[in-house]
Amino acid sequence: TCSCLRKKSRCLPLLMSLGILCFAGDARVRGQTGVVSERRGSYPFIDFRLLNNTTLSGEIGTKKKVKRLLSFQRYFHASRLLRGIVPQASLYLLDEDYLGQARHMLSKVGMWDFDIFLFDRLTNGNSLVTLLCHLFNVHGLIHHFQLDMVTLHRFFVMVQEDYHSQNPYHNAVHAADVTQAMHCYLREPKLANFLTPSDIMLGLLAAAAHDVDHPGVNQPFLIKTKHHLASLYQNVSVLENHHWRSTIGMLRESRLLAHLPKEVTQDIEQQLGSLILATDINRQNEFLIRLKSHLDNQDLRLEDAQDRHFMLQIALKCADICNPCRVWDLSKQWSERVCEEFYRQGDLEQKFELEISPLCNQQKDTVPSIQIGFMTYIVEPLFERWAQFTGNTPLSENMLNHLRRNKAKWRSLLHKQHSSSRSNDHSGQVTGSQEQTLNEEETP
């Protein structure tokens, strides 16, 4: 990291002189001569298949061996890039019926019941690229910023490809889902009346790239295995910093904003960082307390760039964890996917004799119990404050209603699990029908 990151107070006057907006609490993402980006492909995802199929002699149970395997993956990936073996863009192999259905869905992209899973199938796995092209056009961003369409599409493809489809949850479909939610929030009258084209572009870009190149494991895993990313970012917002710096790397590589003045692009890069870093779940209380204070004091002034940026951060945080507020069929799919990713990490930790992280033990942490806790302590407090900010709009009320109904359904499923467990304790065995019920409810 640059000296600016270590000595924030000394650098702030310089940053102000450069005309870069300084948002409270985010000085740590500043840089004297711009953001230090990460090169695409420098840090590949953790390939569970390689780890599980290792040919090393003996049992693999040490952090040293885990680190050795991850280092091999980096070498292997880098060697492929050096030889010119790079992933090719997905092709649009769609017939007219599928294209017509996808276009029809885009006409309703502002609806909260938008089915991103169906849209991803209709676009042959290109939901993020297709959605972003549509939204940039709808919001007039292509014309306003004089963006080259070929370059813009290339950048969107780069972002989509840098998500890992092997991840059950943190993949390009999740990014598309968050982007669609962000679009809905940007249309809320309380916010929309004050947003500038720059605000809208930042909101959509941050939503699309907020989890780019996610490795499928959480920050504690990276820290305890001494992963290079944890060292690079000194164990602070490790993944979020990586997502941000990777996004900047792609922006620069694509030269999407090369025609804009340098100070403008620097400001865009910094604000993208501020938005993406806000998605760190460890900063949840920080943002919630600040939002509560603003709402209680009624001192939000959205004419002011700093307050507007803060609400963009809140909107992105809401979009990132909005799955419990979707209709049950969609919400349940997301819940099962995120728990599957947790369980994969837990299995990996168990294999290497590491302490299993919270929520990652499939034998103890069931999907219903994880979701009820997540809704109660993380989602409800944030979305209740968001509804207060928006003035309880139809969308906010709809989301809260879904949240309450979904929570009740998870409670019912949890109660059935407990009832089955008590019955099993008494009988000493599980009947065929009970076993089927348990498998249907606990297995993602």
Q: Can you tell me the distance from the alpha carbon of 51 to that of 76, in angstroms, rounded to the nearest whole number?
A: 13
Residue 299 labelled as part of a binding site: no
Residue 134 labelled as part of a binding site: no
Residue 320 labelled as part of a binding site: yes
Query: Has 170 been annotated as catalytic?
Result: yes
Encode burial over 157-178: b for 16+ CB neighbours within 10 A, e otherwise: bbbbbbbbeebbbbbbbbbbbb
Residue 97 labelled as part of a binding site: no
CB 170 within 8 A of CB 214: yes
From the CB of residue 5, how many other CB atoms can be counted at a distance below 10 Å?
A: 17
CA atoms within 13 A on the CB side of 435: 5
Residue 172 labelled as part of a binding site: yes
Three-state SS letters, the chain: CCHHHHCHHHHHHHHHHCCCCCCCCCHHHCCECECCCCCCCCCCCCCHHHHHCCCCCCCCCCHHHHHHHHHHHHHHHHHHHHCCCCCCCCCCCCCHHHHHHHHHHHCCCCCCCCCHHHHHHHCCCCHHHHHHHHHHHHCCHHHHCCCCHHHHHHHHHHHHHCCCCCCCCCCHHHHHHHHHHHHHHHCCHHHHCCCCHHHHHHHHHHHHHCCCCCCCCCHHHHHHCCCHHHHHCCCCCHHHHHHHHHHHHHHHHHCCCCCCCHHHHHHHHHHHHHHHHCCCHHHHHHHHHHHHHHHHHCCCCCCCHHHHHHHHHHHHHHHHCCHHHCCHHHHHHHHHHHHHHHHHHHHHHHHCCCCCCCCCCCCCCCHHHHHHHHHHHHHHHHHHHHHHHHCCCHHHHHHHHHHHHHHHHHHHHHHHHHHHHHHHHHHCCCCHHHHHHHHHHHCC
Catalytic residue among 139, 170, 242, 402: 170
Residues labelled catalytic:
170
Q: Which residues are annotated as a binding site for AMP?
A: 170-174, 211, 320, 371
> Per the annotation, where are the binding residues?
170-174, 210-211, 320, 371
List, as residue ranges, the binding site for Zn(2+). Answer: 174, 210-211, 320
